Structure 1
Amino acid sequence: MGSVRGWCTIALVGILGYLYMDNFNLASLANARVLVTGASTGIGEEIAYHYARAGAELVLTARREHALQKVKTKCMELGAKNVFLVLADMGEPAARKQVLDQAISLLGGLDYLVLNHIGATPFKLWEGDVNHTRWLMEVNFLSYVDLASVALPYLTQSKGSIIVLSSMAGKVPIPYAGPYAASKFALEGFFGALRHELTMQDIPVSITLCILGLINTESAMEKVKDKVTMPVYPAQDAALAVINAGASRVHEMYYP
């Protein structure tokens, strides 16, 4: 019975994607040129630290300069080749191209585009706030499309990768998260289709969708308290899983 269960697990992973295994050598990312969005806190912050340990060269972007400066300082202490900061609000369409242009200018190219930022949204029953939903789609979905579109020519040159942070809420609808889930479902549809189109055109850019469960970031814990009872997993481990999957160029990664 155990062997049957094991075979079914292997078959399921083959269909769905990649389950994270802690067997990755960070040294393989030394000197990689990386742009991380939403890097001032949470999973984005931990992603930056892991790339720093590898000796990568980073452009970090978020809205809060003070928080980004703290992340930069720690990244340099951990061994980053270099760290540059770009302040930007991803809810502003004009800001996105500016971020990419500055990143390319600072790094001289791009190997990894890590799309991690999200707009703040309450974890509560739907109350008909269409304006908030429209804004959330702008931040959580359209800004990802904008950044990826501008980055594609540079990633094509480097045979690089796009890493998209998503959620189980983008696979299975859950209560209290309608607008958030909608934005994550949109990422699945767009980037899944784009991956096929890149393959059809022999464009050597990989796209990895990272499907995460409940992670113990401060913002997530504050939102879901008293509403859900499910396992919570550490942001540091989730971030390493994201980097591993992107470097391995898998289509989808599930953590945990």
Structure 2
Amino acid sequence: MRRSLKLFVLGSITAALLALYLRGPTFNAESLKGSRVLVTGASTGIGEQVAYHLAKAGAQIVITARRGNVLEQVVKKCMTMGAQKAVYIPADMSEASDPEKVVRFAVEQLGGLDYLVLNHIGPSPFAMWDGDVEHTRWLMQVNFLSYLQMAWKAIPTLEQSKGSIIVVSSVLGKMCTPFVGPYTATKFALNGFFGTMQHELAMKKSNVTVSICILGLIDTDSAMEKVRGYTNMTAYPASEAAWQIITAGVTRQPEIFYPWYAYYSGLFKDWFPFFRDMVIRGFYHYEP
């Protein structure tokens, strides 16, 4: 009886702590009012939703992506939703000069930066790798190297504001699945590099923090189009993912996971590798 009671108490405490962890920290959205934010990949999907959340909170926003005509519409909507300021700059992150140009533009427009949200990705086929090294090299520039360029360029102004770099990554940067070889390589690179940057900024006693956001399958149009017919995995809402990303930066968390399974996927991936791989392959359909 006494043993059962101890186990019950221990289980209750564990469950309470787990619930607290999964709920995560909260903050008052009013704290975002007037904040200066640069959001990349903001013409559609998660980046667009990040911009709308910031606009509702009264932030000042610079958004960027490749298509200026689409960015213009997002900016107009941000202004109607309550943004103090919203401007855009078209950019191609595969061009070596564009990442730094975008940061310079944002600092000039906003007078500094409080948050840098790195979210953009280049298109990549959802298919078995066909040996196209050039595409992988191009994707590394877009999905990885341009993030480094923008972060390094932004750090001096973020130091002045005690700001945050928010890196949107993926559970595919923690574990491998079929059909996404080049994309997975870029996300592993992001997690590794910015994880190292977290240590180095802390050791230098920098005012800047880095938040890495590990996302699972999100219901953006581009993601749904790619995986259709390949998997029956549940996709989670882009608007909620965007809010989790903002929360991570504002509360200065080093790492967040969304949805819930992203955390446990990383936690258990090395425990039972044979069964892990069976489960992963079971989520996908492939006919040779």
Query: Shorter chain as normaliser: what TM range?
Result: over 0.9
Which of 58, 62, 84 does residue 61 from structure 2 map onto? Answer: 58
Could you tell me which amino acid in structure 2 is paired with residue 45 of structure 1?
A: E
In the TM superposition, residue 24 of structure 1 has moved relative to its aligned partner by 3.9
> Does 2:224 correspond to 1:221?
yes
Could you tell me which amino acid in structure 2 is paired with residue 161 of structure 1?
A: S
Q: With CA pairs under 8 Å and 6+ residues apart, which has the higher RCO, 1 or 2?
A: 1
Preserved contact between residue 19 and residue 255 of structure 1 (Cα < 8 Å): no
Q: What is the alpha-carbon distance in structure 2 between the residues aligned to residue 93 and residue 195 of structure 1?
A: 25
Aligned to 1:37: 40
Aligned to 1:236: 239
Preserved contact between residue 27 and residue 251 of structure 2 (Cα < 8 Å): no
In the TM superposition, residue 6 of structure 1 has moved relative to its aligned partner by 6.1
Aligned to 1:143: 146
In the TM superposition, residue 28 of structure 1 has moved relative to its aligned partner by 1.2
When Rg is computed on C-alpha atoms for both structures, the one with the higher figure is 2
Preserved contact between residue 62 and residue 89 of structure 1 (Cα < 8 Å): yes
> Does 2:194 correspond to 1:191?
yes
Aligned to 1:254: 257
Q: CA 1:117/1:19 → structure 2, altered by over 3 Å: closer, same or farther?
A: farther
Q: Which deviations, in whole Å up to 9, do the C-alpha atoms of 1:161-192 show, x marking residues without a partner?
A: 00000011011111100110000000011000
SS of 2:146 mapped into structure 1 = helix
Could you tell me which amino acid in structure 2 is paired with residue 157 of structure 1?
A: Q
| Count of matched residue positions in the alignment of Structure 1 and Structure 2 | 252
In the TM superposition, residue 25 of structure 1 has moved relative to its aligned partner by 2.4
Q: Which deviations, in whole Å up to 9, do the C-alpha atoms of 1:65-112 show, x marking residues without a partner?
A: 111011001100110000111110011011111111111110000000
Q: What is the alpha-carbon distance in structure 2 between the residues aligned to residue 125 and residue 156 of structure 1?
A: 42
> Does 2:28 correspond to 1:25?
yes
Preserved contact between residue 26 and residue 251 of structure 2 (Cα < 8 Å): no
Which of 91, 95, 99 does residue 96 from structure 1 map onto? Answer: 99
Q: Which deviations, in whole Å up to 9, do the C-alpha atoms of 1:16-62 show, x marking residues without a partner?
A: xx746594421110000000001100000000000001100001111
Aligned to 2:275: none
Which of 7, 12, 15 does residue 14 from structure 2 map onto? Answer: 7
Preserved contact between residue 123 and residue 176 of structure 1 (Cα < 8 Å): yes
Preserved contact between residue 207 and residue 251 of structure 1 (Cα < 8 Å): yes
TM-score (norm 1): 0.94
Aligned to 2:282: none
SS of 2:37 mapped into structure 1 = strand
In the TM superposition, residue 236 of structure 1 has moved relative to its aligned partner by 0.6
Which of 205, 208, 211 does residue 205 from structure 1 map onto? Answer: 208
Q: What is the alpha-carbon distance in structure 2 between the residues aligned to residue 228 and residue 32 of structure 1?
A: 39
SS of 1:227 mapped into structure 2 = coil
Could you tell me which amino acid in structure 1 is paired with residue 247 of structure 2?
A: N
SS of 1:233 mapped into structure 2 = coil
Q: What is the alpha-carbon distance in structure 2 between the residues aligned to residue 192 and residue 227 of structure 1?
A: 31
Q: What is the alpha-carbon distance in structure 1 between the residues aligned to residue 98 and residue 131 of structure 2?
A: 28
Which of 169, 190, 215 does residue 166 from structure 1 map onto? Answer: 169
Q: CA 1:137/1:56 → structure 2, altered by over 3 Å: closer, same or farther?
A: same
Consecutive unaligned residues in structure 1, runs of 5 or more: none
TM-score (norm 2): 0.84
